[in-house]
Chain A
Amino acid sequence: MDSGSTAWVLASAALVLFMTPGLALFYGGMVRSKNVLAMLMKNYVAMGIVTITWITVGFSLAFSGDVGGGLIGDLKLWGVRDLGLGNEQFGYEIPDLLFMAFQMMFAIITPALIAGAVAERMKFTAWVAFVAIWSIVVYAPMAHWVWGGGFIAEDIKALDFAGGLVVHINAGVAALVLVLVLGPRIGFRRDVIRPHSLPLTILGAGILWFGWFGFNAGSALAANGGAANAFVTTHVAAAVAATTWTIVEGMRHGKPTTLGFVSGAVAGLVAITPAAGFVSPLSAVVIGIAAGSICFYALQLKFRFNFDDSLDVIAVHLVGGIIGALLLGFLAEARIGGVDGALLGEREWIQVWRQFLSIVVAIVWAGVVTFIIVKAIDMTIGLRVSEDEERQGLDLALHEEQGYILAD
């Protein structure tokens, strides 16, 4: 084990956890004030619920052993028992317990991402049930396939440095399924529904950008040059995507917006996530430009196809994740991450095919299983609040709280 690596990954795990409150603020500022607490709650509660599912069975299913030739882990590490203070189990430069904890923070934020799509109309009980089940049945297998020695890594040989597939495409598809089953908010496309506090959103985006250094550079699982590369590509992609989005938006709508700048940054961060440890900073510029422009145009998908993805989870995470995962197939360089893509080094075009295949697998898996979970919850608990509750606002209706009591 290496003390520098252990220190870095400890810090990274904390950074990644901090991203969930950052995400909560990012989303919270964009909903109407009567729903701000409900949105924050949907994010924060993931920190509670997924910790429990991860510690009990999630981690083991993702990372312990292998059953079925790359399909799922076993339950030998249930309750994360036998995870010692050393690295005998996994052989990284960090303690096994820390590896589990670092992965846990990813498991937490992934379902939290979905909350943005179902804003202002989903029942809290249904959400809790969804997060608990999804984290075990959809997330853990994906983590196993990509990072736990499963078939996406071993057989398809696709690359995913920090979670383009496992986190962003996974959550993005699940969000789409939920949005289609849940239906649109009252007043979607008719009423003026505006973010109630963009300062909160912008603060949240800053926290996400900061925490993402832990998300990507921490995924090197070591304090070394690889981590440094991931650090740089992460930042470059964010900055370039934010600038690109702002320019495109300014040209299209006449004024650059603060919401546009931070949305561009997040899109860039999403897109670089699978590629951070495999591509160069210049490639990160390319990825940033792609994410900052394509994701901007992807915003129109919900109007084109008439679905209420309230906070654009699909345009940013699903589309951004696909952009990053695919471009990785072109831009990977062996001198950085050990594998060449189609355009550089040995020009391995096969890597583009591998990336494409892994994306398809992720979309099908997340789509089908999420649909089953969502339908089951809808038929038992019910997914959506009543019309009265939706009009009143979820903070009062579901939590008996008010976010802002200005008279006192």
Chain B
Amino acid sequence: MKLVIAYINPFKLDEVRDALKESVGGLSAGNVQGFGRQGGHTETYRGAEYEVQFVPKIRVEVIVDDADVAGVVAKIEETARTGQTGDGKIAVLPVEEIVRIRTGERGPDAL
């Protein structure tokens, strides 16, 4: 099993969710701030200009069976891509154990 973490643009979240609906049992999404090659922006308050380095992004996390990983990554890649700097990144991590809290099921049954 693998944990797929994707940092994407907030306005892409709905598309990504729609694309993944059939492939995954569930997904979690949270607000993060980050920067990569995409620079920050300037904000002005009361005559003072501030260089704000952080850009709002969404971190999507899904846990998938090994067989499904490539497909899920490809779906995220396609839907989240705009071609501009700031599209984000996807990381794939190994998962040791997974438990469904309600039933106590473990392993692939818990996905």
Q: Which residues of A are interface residues toward B (Cβ below 8 A)?
A: 192, 194-195, 249, 252-253, 255, 257, 259-260, 263, 296, 299-300, 303, 312
Contact = CB atoms under 8 A, between A and B. Distances in A.
Given A253-B49, A257-B44, 13 more contacts: A192-B52, A194-B43, A194-B45, A195-B45, A249-B44, A249-B47, A253-B44, A255-B44, A259-B45, A299-B46, A299-B47, A299-B48, A303-B48
Contacts of B51: 192
26 contacts: A192-B51, A192-B52, A194-B43, A194-B45, A194-B50, A194-B52, A195-B45, A249-B44, A249-B47, A252-B47, A253-B44, A253-B47, A253-B49, A255-B44, A257-B44, A257-B45, A259-B45, A259-B46, A260-B46, A263-B46, A296-B47, A299-B46, A299-B47, A299-B48, A303-B48, A312-B46
Nearest to A260: B46
A303 B48 CA distance: 9
Contacts of A260: 46
A303 B52 CA distance: 19
Contacts of A252: 47
A113 to B, nearest CB: 16
Nearest to B51: A192
Contacts of A249: 44, 47
B90 to A, nearest CB: 27
A303 B49 CA distance: 12
A9 to B, nearest CB: 35
Nearest to A311: B46
Contacts, number: 28
Interface range on chain B: under 10, 10 to 19, 20 to 34, or 35 or more? 10 to 19
B53 to A, nearest CB: 8
A282 B47 CA distance: 28
Interface string B27-60: 0000000000000000111111111100000000
Contacts of A300: 47
A296 B52 CA distance: 23
Contacts of B50: 192, 194
Nearest to B40: A192
Contacts of A299: 46-48
B42 to A, nearest CB: 9
A180 B45 CA distance: 22
Contacts of B49: 253
Nearest first, the 5 A-B pairs at minimum CB distance are A299-B47, A192-B50, A253-B44, A299-B46, A312-B46
B71 to A, nearest CB: 33
A259 B49 CA distance: 13
A366 B81 CA distance: 61
A263 B44 CA distance: 13
B56 to A, nearest CB: 14
A303 B44 CA distance: 15
A192 to B, nearest CB: 5
A257 B50 CA distance: 14
A252 B49 CA distance: 11
Nearest to B49: A253
Nearest to B44: A253
Contacts of A195: 45
Nearest to B54: A192
B33 to A, nearest CB: 12
Interface in B91-108: none
A260 B46 CA distance: 6
Contacts of A259: 45-46
Nearest to A257: B44
Contacts of A312: 46
A257 B45 CA distance: 8
Contacts of B46: 259-260, 263, 299, 312
Contacts of B44: 249, 253, 255, 257
Nearest to A195: B45
Contacts of B52: 192, 194
Nearest to A300: B47
A138 to B, nearest CB: 27
